[in-house]
Amino acid sequence: MPDAAPIRVLIADDEALVRAGFRVLVDSAPDLTVLGEAGNGVEAVQLTRRLRPDVVLMDIRMPIMDGLEAMRHIAADTAQQPRVLIVTTFDQDEHVFQALRSGASGFLLKDSPPEQLLHAIRVVAKGDALLTPSITRRMIDEFARRPTTPDRRPDIRTGLTDREYEVLIHVASGRTNAEIASTLHVSIATVKTHIGHLLTKLDARDRTQLVVLAYESGIVVPGA
């Protein structure tokens, strides 16, 4: 049986030494390979369209075009939408929130252990979101600070079954599939099925977007 194709990675960072370090680390894993490097957001968008990576390691602060704007351009290109993993030294609330809103599937700080970066690439490449409880808490805090506008919130519950709605609430609370399965007394496979239905019905790319939709729609209230 032939080995699975390696996960193709594009590195976007304005620091050459950082890019070199990431390249050595990623290429050291047998199931990962680096396709190319970008030194700014414009290059990241161009190389993404040309090389079609599975995952883009994206810094936020870059010259010419920052990582957030680059993600918006990549997300607008329906022909190719790779998973974007934000890897940055900045962890302020507004950067986390803007990155997730722009389409990031994960958020990792540059001082994270090397094995955590490799794990994060594999997670987002599978279509899952690297949404840790700490990141979820930042999102909750962000929504808690915002003025409520119930009349302008989208109604996303229409079309969802009671169980799907329940799973969505748990996802928005930052719980893992295993934790949701334990709470609802169902199998992990069943939870994954419900999440798949939620992604389809709500036209969401991944788990991260489900969390954003849950809070923006008001079905999950910060502090409740």
Closest CA to 22 of 108, 80, 125: 108
Using the predicted structure, report yes or no on whether residue 222 has a pLDDT greater than 60: no
Three-state SS at 31:
coil
Domains, the chain: 7-130 (3.40.50.2300), 149-217 (1.10.10.10)
**Single-letter residue type at 159:** G
**Angle of the 207-217 helix axis to the 188-201 helix axis, nearest 10:** 60
**Angle of the 188-201 helix axis to the 162-172 helix axis, nearest 10:** 90
Report residue 46: phi and psi, to 5°. Answer: -65, -45
Catalogue the E-assigned strands of the chain. 7-12, 32-38, 55-58, 83-88, 106-109
> CA dihedral in degrees (37, 120, 83, 45; nearest 10)?
-20
Q: CA-to-CA distance for 30 and 144, rounded, in angstroms?
A: 43
Tens of pLDDT along 96-130?
767 777 778 888 878 888 888 898 899 888 876 66
Tens of pLDDT along 62-107?
989 998 899 888 877 756 678 888 887 766 656 776 777 777 888 8
13 close to 57: Cβ distance less than 8 angstroms: yes
How far is residue 181 CA from its own chain's centroid? Answer: 22
Q: What is the mean pLDDT of residues 40-45?
A: 94
pLDDT at residue 137, rounded to an integer: 57
Closest CA to 174 of 215, 204, 136: 136
pLDDT at residue 125, rounded to an integer: 86
pLDDT at residue 31, rounded to an integer: 94
Q: What is the mean pLDDT of residues 197-213?
A: 82
Other Cβ atoms within 10 Å of 116 Cβ, number: 12
